[in-house]
Amino acid sequence: MEYLLETQEVVKQYANHLALDHVSIQVPEGQIFGLLGPNGAGKTTLIRIINRITAPDSGSVLFNGRPSVQDDIYQIGYLPEERGLYKKMKVGEQAIYLAQLKGLSYQEAKKRLQAWFEKFDIMPWWNKKLEELSKGMQQKVQFIITVVHEPKLLILDEPFSGFDPVNAELLKLEILELKDKGHTIIFSTHNMGSVEEICDHIALINHSHVVLKGSVQEVREQFKSYQYALRVKQGPETLPVLNSALFEEQGRKELTGGELEIRIKKQKDVSNSELLRQLAGQLDIISFQEEIPSMHDIFIQVVANHPLTSTDHE
């Protein structure tokens, strides 16, 4: 697989704590990469190193397969978590200014920005001061500024915070469209629901270490616990506890309408069809579902096993 960005054994030491300890991640080209982790894990430090805002103490960052250089920042668009713009400056003027700082010419910046402003329905605010805009509109401006120079790599840190559900949906579609156009996106968030929806790969950082990485599919596979939820029709007599060589029962719950929900755990090497064949012989099955853990559960499981100590902070 082609990696647009790689970090290799990156270490960053601050005065009294180690922010990153031999962190290696690989971001595949053209995909959405979720950078996850609790507060203070070191995500922001890693993002700053990728953006060349700070330099690692050791280790290296590869961009396009070669060591990253200062000019690579023209290929990166960064939407910080804590974002702000010049309050007293006119929106259009400052968007052009920031686009110029990313290497666009004045004319090109203006042309592209006007197209984006039209698309997001905020053209009437072009000549307004930023402080006159609503928070949602400011967020849109922020997003436009991040993508206007059409960077190969987009780094979005909590992009959905501050958006209402309607605009969040709009933004999500925009992000997926950018992916379709071939942009690579690093997506940092706490919102695990959105990770499952849009991420292809993830890396989970905790305690300055990468504790989990891979495609979302792989990670969930890795954490599955071979549990199944069965819904069955209950007969006239009470069902005995289900146990066999293939699986064991974990618990049951009566539902309305004479239905029963049973949770079972199968043996690792038993296939689903084998399991189903045996169950079908005994029970009148309404539904049969493998319980794959959500990213949310995985996150909590991994992070809760290694709680942060008080000395770690960003």
Q: Who contacts 39 (Cβ-Cβ below 8 Å, separation ≥6)?
A: 190, 314
Using the rule CB under 8 A, is 84 a contact of other proteins? yes
Using the rule CB under 8 A, is 53 a contact of other proteins? yes
Using the rule CB under 8 A, is 1 a contact of other proteins? no
Using the rule CB under 8 A, is 234 a contact of other proteins? no
Cβ-based nearer residue to other proteins, 208 or 260: 208
Cβ-based nearer residue to other proteins, 161 or 227: 161
Cβ-based nearer residue to other proteins, 88 or 135: 88
Which of 8, 26, 51, 234: binder of other proteins (CB under 8 A)?
51
CA dist., res. 285 & res. 237, Å (int) = 16
The site string for other proteins over 6-45 (x = CB under 8 A, - otherwise) reads ---------x------------------------------
Which of 21, 57, 200, 291: binder of other proteins (CB under 8 A)?
57
User: What element of type H or E holds 99?
Assistant: helix 91-101
**CA neighbours closer than 13 Å in the CB half-sphere of residue 110:** 5
In degrees and rounded to multiples of 5, residue 135 shows phi and psi of -60, -40
Using the rule CB under 8 A, is 283 a contact of other proteins? no
* Cβ at position 118, least distance to other proteins in Å: 23
Using the rule CB under 8 A, is 223 a contact of other proteins? no
Using the rule CB under 8 A, is 102 a contact of other proteins? yes
Q: Which of residues 63-82 bind other proteins (CB under 8 A)?
A: 73, 76, 78, 80, 82
Cβ-based nearer residue to other proteins, 85 or 285: 85
DSSP H helical ranges for 150-287: 165-180, 192-198, 216-222, 272-282
- CB–CB of 184/29 below 8 Å? yes
Q: Who contacts 280 (Cβ-Cβ below 8 Å, separation ≥6)?
A: none
**247-255, strands of its sheet edge to edge:** 247-255, 259-266, 227-233, 285-290
Cβ-based nearer residue to other proteins, 111 or 313: 313
Q: How many residues bind other proteins (CB under 8 A)?
A: 25
Taking CB atoms within 8 Å and a gap of at least 24, the contacts of 238-244 are 239/283, 242/282, 244/278
DSSP 243: B
Using the rule CB under 8 A, is 255 a contact of other proteins? no
Give Cα separations from 237 to 102, 118, 234, 255, 257 (angstroms): 73, 68, 8, 16, 15
Using the rule CB under 8 A, is 183 a contact of other proteins? no
Cβ-based nearer residue to other proteins, 93 or 274: 93
Binding-site ranges for other proteins (CB under 8 A): 15, 48, 51, 53-55, 57, 73, 76, 78, 80, 82-89, 97-98, 100-102, 145
